[in-house]
């Protein structure tokens, strides 16, 4: 059965791959975009205007869908110091809209920093993580806590990418993990965007991580 999927961030790095993967599997995708000129409609793809910070507008767009995936990220042109608050504002609207729209199935593409790097040490606190992304990473970690602890009634799944997510081959071979960073035998935590999208659409089709976070890497 085709799934009627609403996809926010459908023009972004990860959202583009999720959109392509979902369409290739025959699902009906509604891409929610800031500017409709960014994407052309095609068979099984509708393109509708929506703003990640506008909860009420999103409610109207989401209604009637079977599932909602957000691969949104704040505009890269905005100052980095604003990003933590922009993440909080947008995700209040996104989660609020999911709740009000009645679309219970919600998959959020989040961040790597809240995974465990080692026992008792989060990735965000690992020596190699650096400080540039600390603010946004902590905001993403907070958003995961909202999903875990608040009374929103959503069948949510939070997907943490690995440390490195980049253009590359669609192999279909990868490993899933829960709250621990997944690394290969060289210690690298990485995946191609195309393989990430396979895992996201697999989860959409066959929910295996309801009200949980999972991660994916080679
Ligand atoms: N290792 C990691 O932790 C890691 C690495 C990569 C990504 N991620 C996470 O993955 C998610 C997606 O990242 P990405 O790299 O794919 O992002 P991206 O390429 O920057 O794409 C962001 C998407 O959000 C859209 N957008 C921006 N502002 C919007 C607004 N006001 N209303 C509606 N849409 C808006 C953009 O649309 P336009 O086309 O209009 O700009 C674009 O489609 C983020 O949560 C990010 O934190 C995590």
Contact between 25 and 205 (Cβ < 8 Å) = yes
The closest alpha carbon to 5, from 40, 36, 38, 48, belongs to: 48
Query: Which pLDDT score, from 0 to 100, does residue 36 have?
Result: 87
Confidence category of residue 99, pLDDT binned at 50, 70, 90: very high
Alpha carbons 197 and 151: distance in angstroms, whole number: 28
Q: Please indicate whether residue 132 or residue 112 has the higher confidence score (pLDDT).
A: 112
- pLDDT tens digit string along 200-209? 999 999 999 9
Q: 38-41 long-range contacts, Cβ below 8 Å, gap at least 24?
A: 38/11, 39/10, 39/11
pLDDT (average), residues 1-25: 97
Is 132's pLDDT higher than 90?
A: no
Which residue among 14, 134, 188 has the greatest number of ligand 1 atoms within 8 angstroms of its CB, and so is best to mutate? 14
| Contacts (Cβ under 8 Å, ≥6 apart) of 7 | 15, 18, 19, 22, 29, 30, 31, 32, 68, 69, 70, 71
Residue 216, number of CB atoms within 10 A of its CB: 23
Distance from Cα 127 to the centre of ligand 1, integer Å? 26
Query: Which pLDDT score, from 0 to 100, does residue 129 have?
Result: 86
Q: Among the atoms of ligand 1, which is closest to the Cα of residue 38?
A: 39
Distance from Cα 16 to the centre of ligand 1, integer Å? 10
161 CB within 6 A, ligand 1: yes
109 CB within 6 A, ligand 1: yes
Instruction: State CA 184 to chain mean position distance.
Output: 23
Tokens of 58: 């999103």
Confidence category of residue 130, pLDDT binned at 50, 70, 90: confident
């Amino acid at each position: 059965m085709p799934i009627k999927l609403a996809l926010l961030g459908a023009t972004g790095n990860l959202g583009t791959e999720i959109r392509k993967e979902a369409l290739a599997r025959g699902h009906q995708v509604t891409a929610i975009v800031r500017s409709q000129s960014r994407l052309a409609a095609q068979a099984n793809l509708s393109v509708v205007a929506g703003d990640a910070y506008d909860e009420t507008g999103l409610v109207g767009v989401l209604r009637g869908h079977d599932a909602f995936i957000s691969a949104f990220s704040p505009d890269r042109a905005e100052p980095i110091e604003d990003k933590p608050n922009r993440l909080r504002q947008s995700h209040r609207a996104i989660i609020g809209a999911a709740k009000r729209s009645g679309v219970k199935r919600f998959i959020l593409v989040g961040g790597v920093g809240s995974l465990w790097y080692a026992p008792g040490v989060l990735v965000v606190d690992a020596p190699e993580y650096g400080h540039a992304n600390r603010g946004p990473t902590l905001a993403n970690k907070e958003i995961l806590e909202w999903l875990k602890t608040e009374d929103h009634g959503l069948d949510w799944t939070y997907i943490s990418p690995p440390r490195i997510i980049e253009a590359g081959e669609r192999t279909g071979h990868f490993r899933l993990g829960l709250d621990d960073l997944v690394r290969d035998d060289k210690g690298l935590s990485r995946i191609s965007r195309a393989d990430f999208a396979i895992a996201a659409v697999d989860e959409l089709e066959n929910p295996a991580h309801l009200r949980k976070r999972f991660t994916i890497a080679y």
